Amino acid sequence: MSETPTRTPFWLDATFAGSAVALVILLGVAMAREWARPPLIAQRIVPALGVVDRCEHCHSEDTHPGEMLTHHPPERFGCTPCHGGQGWALTARDAHEARPDWERPLFTLAEREAACGRCHLSGPVPGAPRLEVGRRLLDTLGCRACHALPGAGETPPGLPLDGLSLKVEPAWVRWFLTAPENPDGPAPRHRMPRFDLEPDAVEDLVAYLLRPAAPLAAAPEGDAERGRTAVATRRCATCHRIEGRGGDFAPSLDLAGAKMRPEWLVAFLRAPHAIRPGIDMPEFGLDEREAADIAAYIAEQLVSDTGETPWSKAIAVDGDPARRAEAGRAVFARSGCRGCHVTADVPLDRPGAPLAQIAGRTAAERPPAADGEDPPDVPAFVARKVASPRVFDPPGGPAGVMPQFRTTPDEAVAIGIAVAALGGRSVPVEYRRDTAPRPFAPPPGVIADLFERKRCLSCHRIGGTGGDLSRIPLDGVGARLDRTWLARFLEAPTTVRLDQPERMPVLGLSPEEAARLAEYLSLTLDAAWSAEPVPVGDATRGEALYGRHGCATCHVHRGQGALGGPGLDDAPRRLRPVYLSTLLRAPERVPNGRHAAVRLSAGDAADVAAFLSTATAPATVVPATAATGVPSAD
């Protein structure tokens, strides 16, 4: 007999059903609340920079181009220090655009490049070429003369002007102040801007600058023909244009006899650094007779054939000289001339705002443009100001004093980027990078005195320091050149690099000075590879290799070849065999090694080096003077 199954109590079924319904309701409520919950915000906090960035909520590291994040990881730098915007905003609009409580939108391209300069304080910056150009222009244009510039030296970029009346004629000063961009001005490279002065203001300045000074001793009588020879043998045309030919590194001397006084020339040629401190011109050690001869040549020959000069028509404006001189002093001070040029009775008072202050101005703090086209950022504002200094002058208000510089549009933007880099919050020390080469300084004593008097670094670069007249820096010169040859060359330079227009001037070094300087350069500016043994080469095989590889296409050797590179006739006396061998097989190891035409095996390089090092033919002599007696710069 089967048993009847026990029925589940109703209350238990009801309880189970109610529990199931409640669970479904609870799950639904939980899901609805979760659905309504705001999404989690990706947030990056960098305490060292005071950064709270939420940019990565929308932007992925994968979308960042290049290898920038390898060197600038977001966990250390965040995003807004380089890109701008409001990092803690919760919407794209608030993050990217200017808002009533947050004026700064995302950086423009120029601002992003400027942002690099807040950590990279000097030297080349990868990805920011205009920043480096702008910094260089801030220096060469002398912006520190009118604007305080962090890290800039206090030495005025221009020449002192006391005693100018002893040097030049008034008409030339008047003409130059009217249009300093004239090609017959101080030098093609000079960067003095145009001030657009009224004729009365120009005449006031002329009276002030040419105020009487203690007279110089009368110039001794010189011989113009001897002076012409001295100018040629000293190779003055390396830097100066003379009789239509020569360099543009220094002022043109084509019409120097019509503007400069002979007694000043004699005094200057004998002691240039005493009369013009800071000038790039070396001291040549001229005696009084040679200086007088050069002054006579300039006075007699470097004049206009017709007697007319570009400044002949610069007519003086009448007026009391004393009153004009006093008014000129006020113009000199008001125009900020003292920032570049020292005069004894005008103190330094920069008329412009500090550049860091300009960089920190917001759009509301910058003056509006007269034409209504307000620049969108600091780089554009500065570029506009450089290109058109009067565009931000207030209508009906006083005119600004900023002069008109001769810059290209690209240079103006580069200046703006460099100025903008001075703004923003200062970064901690551990973020700062200073990659500029350490300035080269010769050791105190005789060597330092020679470097100073002969102005070696005006033309040559060592360790990134120095001038650019010579295109071959002196780094590694001790590994390249024989010390005895170098001493003879410093005493009496000869033409070596026939492919270059520059020619080293004759500096008047004594044999002892030349030997000391050659010793220092040879021992100090050496290279590690110069101590490596040189394999013994086969000169006969090297001669065949020299012809096979077409070396005569660029070099003169044994009187044969082209003038496309250094002459090789004197290679046994001039070039060290280890240098020749290394340059031919591994030019990348040689400082400033430019020999890219041929890369030889070690054996072939040793053979060619042996051939060049054992040549016995007399050296090819290149005259230092052309037919006119003036060194050729062609």
Bridge partners (DSSP) listed for residue 242? 245
Handedness of CA 202, 205, 207, 209 (dihedral sign): negative
If we measure between CA atoms, which residue out of 560, 562, 589, 563 comes closest to residue 480? 589
Instruction: Kindly report the average pLDDT of the chain as a whole number.
Output: 85
Sorted by where each starts, the structural domains of the chain and their CATH numbers stand as: 44-106 (no CATH), 164-326 (1.10.760), 354-431 (no CATH), 446-634 (no CATH)
End-to-end CA distance of the chain: 132
431-449: pLDDT as tens digits:
998 877 778 889 999 999 9
CA distance 78 to 49: 9
Examine the pLDDT at 543 and tell me if it is beyond 80.
Answer: yes
CA distance 253 to 246: 10
Across the range 57-66, mean pLDDT stands at: 80
Torsional class of 629: left (φ above 0), alpha (ψ -120 to 50), beta (otherwise): left
Say which residue, 463 or 329, is predicted with more confidence: 329
Q: What is the pTM for the complete model shown?
A: 0.79
Report the number of secondary-structure helices (H) and strands (E) in the chain. 26, 8
Give ∠ CA 92-95-99 in degrees, rounded to 5. Answer: 110
Name the DSSP letter for residue 376.
S
Instruction: Check residue 518 and give its pLDDT.
Output: 95
Examine the pLDDT at 95 and tell me if it is beyond 50.
Answer: yes
CA distance 78 to 74: 4
Pick from 280-289, 356-365, 434-443, 531-540 the range whose average pLDDT is largest.
280-289
Q: What is the band of 277 on the pLDDT scale with cuts at 50, 70, 90?
A: confident
Examine the pLDDT at 154 and tell me if it is beyond 50.
Answer: yes
Q: Are 611 and 543 in contact (CB under 8 A)?
A: yes
- Please state the length of the chain: 634
Instruction: Check residue 38 and give its pLDDT.
Output: 61
Say which residue, 530 or 37, is predicted with more confidence: 530
Instruction: Check residue 183 and give its pLDDT.
Output: 55
495-542: pLDDT as tens digits:
887 666 668 899 999 999 999 999 999 988 888 888 888 888 999 999
Examine the pLDDT at 40 and tell me if it is beyond 80.
Answer: no
Say which residue, 111 or 400, is predicted with more confidence: 111
Examine the pLDDT at 471 and tell me if it is beyond 80.
Answer: no
Examine the pLDDT at 621 and tell me if it is beyond 60.
Answer: no
* Cβ neighbours of residue 499 closer than 8 Å, sequence gap 6 or more: 554, 563, 564, 565, 566
Instruction: Check residue 189 and give its pLDDT.
Output: 62
